């Protein structure tokens, strides 16, 4: 049985429109035209226990709205949701005790006190035994290397340090399902990598089911085998990340290094030039023709090195977003 089941989820909001200017402001006191916006429309998917799924899409696609419905923070306008056998919108303690939620742009730590004080508060809220609390805290301190910072006021921590502590606060009660909304937003390369390594370890060691939203494709490529793409409130793709590339990538990237300097005129007849300095070129070629193009260049020009790559995942996903069919 699936850990998460979503069937025909729809969530709408009423938006009030107002024209600019003093006259429009006065008029809006008596009459405010409104319209219905579908943040999520007829979305269905299932996630099995222990899966780590990327839930991706452009801004305003419906990612965060879906996660909030799954966690029970929002009521669906229609449709059915089951997580761990519970209806999230009921907000039962038995359900909340089995989920965790980390939002990169929201702070669950108390700002004026050290993270360890928030940890103790969560210990009481989730009724964690002294033994389990210390065991889990020791694991997080070692894994995230936060022993020197949990006694420092939260407001004095860097963003990367704070995000590590945010994860601890969300995971102390050992949830079975973890919702991650942009967990690496604003982090530097090193801090983001440490967060990714931590998420991977939690998923593998504890079989925690994870749904991850992120605009950082490094997060998605490194962590998620399966991705769900949502755009304008509707799912456009649900499957393996590798199949996404196969389905939507129309181009191959060919990188050549030459023994002698070659003019752009000699190269551009083979494909679209991405960059090049005469001694090396990168070109885009359709996936139907790249083998024949590579063969022609190898036989007609003094090639010393050749590398063939798939279209970057960012470009593939951008193509999915712009395909309105």
pLDDT bucket at 148, cuts 50 / 70 / 90: very high
Answer with the residue of higher pLDDT: 319 or 197. Answer: 197
Q: Read off the pLDDT of each residue in 21-35 and give the average, rounded to a whole number.
A: 77
List pLDDT tens digits, range 186-227.
888 888 898 999 999 999 999 999 999 988 888 888 999 999
The residues, any chain, with a CB within 8 Å of residue 269's CB and separated by 6 or more, are none
Is the distance from CB of 245 to CB of 312 less than 8 angstroms? no
Is the distance from CB of 249 to CB of 316 less than 8 angstroms? yes
On average, the pLDDT of the chain sits at 89
Tokens of 90: 């009921």
Matching CATH number, 4-245, of 3.40.350.10, 3.10.20.30, 3.40.50.300, 1.10.8.60: 3.40.50.300
Q: Read off the pLDDT of each residue in 5-25 and give the average, rounded to a whole number.
A: 85
- Among residues 88, 267, 65, 301, the alpha carbon closest in space to that of 177 is found at 88
Is the distance from CB of 184 to CB of 104 less than 8 angstroms? yes
Cα gap 286→103, rounded to integer Å: 39
Tokens of 308: 């063939």
Percentage helix, strand, coil for the chain under 3-state DSSP, each rounded to 5 = 40, 30, 30
Helices (H) and strands (E) in the chain, counts: 12, 13
Domain residue ranges of the chain, discontinuous segments joined by +: 4-245, 250-315
User: What's the DSSP call for residue 113?
Assistant: S
List pLDDT tens digits, range 228-261.
999 888 998 899 988 887 777 778 899 999 999 9
Confidence (pLDDT) at 282: 94
Confidence (pLDDT) at 322: 67
User: pTM (2 decimals)?
Assistant: 0.79
CATH 3.90.10 describes domain 250-315: no
């Amino acid at each position: 049985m699936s850990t998460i089941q979503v069937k025909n989820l729809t969530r709408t909001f009423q938006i009030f429109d107002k024209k600019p200017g003093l006259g429009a402001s006065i008029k809006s006191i008596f009459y405010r035209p409104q319209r219905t916006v579908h943040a999520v429309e007829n979305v269905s998917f299932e996630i099995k226990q222990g899966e780590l799924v990327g839930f991706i899409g452009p801004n305003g696609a419906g990612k965060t709205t879906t996660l909030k419905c799954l966690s029970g923070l929002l009521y669906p306008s229609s449709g059915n949701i089951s997580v761990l056998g519970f209806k999230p919108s009921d907000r039962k303690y038995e359900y909340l005790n089995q989920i965790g939620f980390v939002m990169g742009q929201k702070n669950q730590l108390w700002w004026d006190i050290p993270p360890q004080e928030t940890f103790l508060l969560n210990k009481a809220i989730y009724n964690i035994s002294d033994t389990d609390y210390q065991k889990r805290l020791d694991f997080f301190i070692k894994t995230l290397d936060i022993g020197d910072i949990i006694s420092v006021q939260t407001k004095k921590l860097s963003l990367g340090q704070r995000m590590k502590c945010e994860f601890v606060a969300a995971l102390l009660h050992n949830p079975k399902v973890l919702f991650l909304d942009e967990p690496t937003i604003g982090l530097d390369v090193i801090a983001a990598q440490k967060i990714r390594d931590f998420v991977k370890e939690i998923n593998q060691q504890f079989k925690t089911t994870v749904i991850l939203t992120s605009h950082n494709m490094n997060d998605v490529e490194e962590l998620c085998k399966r991705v769900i793409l949502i755009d304008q409130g509707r799912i456009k793709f649900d499957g393996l990340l590798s199949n996404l590339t196969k389905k939507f990538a129309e181009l191959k990237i060919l990188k050549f290094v030459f023994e002698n300097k070659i003019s752009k005129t000699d190269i551009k007849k083979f494909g679209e030039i991405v960059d090049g300095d005469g001694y090396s070129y990168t070109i885009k070629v359709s996936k139907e023709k790249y083998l024949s193009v590579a063969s022609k260049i190898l036989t007609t020009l003094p090639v010393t090195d050749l590398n063939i790559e798939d279209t970057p995942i960012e470009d593939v996903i951008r193509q999915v977003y712009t395909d309105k069919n």
